[in-house]
């Protein structure tokens, strides 16, 4: 059973990417990073779609979206996420 099974019902696409990352982590870490980034892109994209209080960054790259001030103010700080700098690890792997 995947550690990300809780995502499956409501966020099937995020679950699919996250579980593929989980499955590839020991076999092919580079592929796992790609799937992890995809899961993050989908989750951040969903957040922007569902929260009208967030200002869409321009350009709408993953880096710009997670560093946008409204995202940091309304998502990162209140939830207590400390996912900086780990997305910067995923970027170079996939670019």
What ranges do the domains of the chain cover? 5-94
Asked whether residue 89 carries a pLDDT value surpassing 70, the answer given is no
Mean pLDDT of 69-86: 73
For the entire predicted model, the pTM comes to 0.79
* Confidence at residue 77, expressed as pLDDT on a 0 to 100 scale: 72
Confidence at 57, pLDDT banded by 50, 70, 90? confident
* Confidence at residue 58, expressed as pLDDT on a 0 to 100 scale: 87
In whole angstroms, what is the distance from residue 40 CA to residue 17 CA?
9
Rounded (10°) CA dihedral 17, 90, 29, 19: -20
Quick: pLDDT tens for 3-53.
999 999 999 999 999 999 999 999 999 999 999 999 999 999 999 999 999
């Amino acid at each position: 059973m995947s550690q990300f099974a809780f995502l499956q019902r409501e966020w099937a696409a995020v679950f699919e990417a996250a579980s593929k990352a989980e499955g590839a982590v020991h076999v092919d870490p580079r592929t796992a990073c790609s799937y992890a980034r995809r899961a993050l892109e989908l989750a951040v994209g969903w957040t922007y779609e569902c929260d009208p209080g967030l200002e869409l960054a321009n350009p709408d790259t993953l880096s710009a979206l997670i560093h946008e001030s409204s995202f940091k103010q309304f998502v990162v700080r209140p939830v207590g996420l400390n996912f900086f700098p780990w997305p910067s690890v995923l970027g170079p792997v996939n670019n």
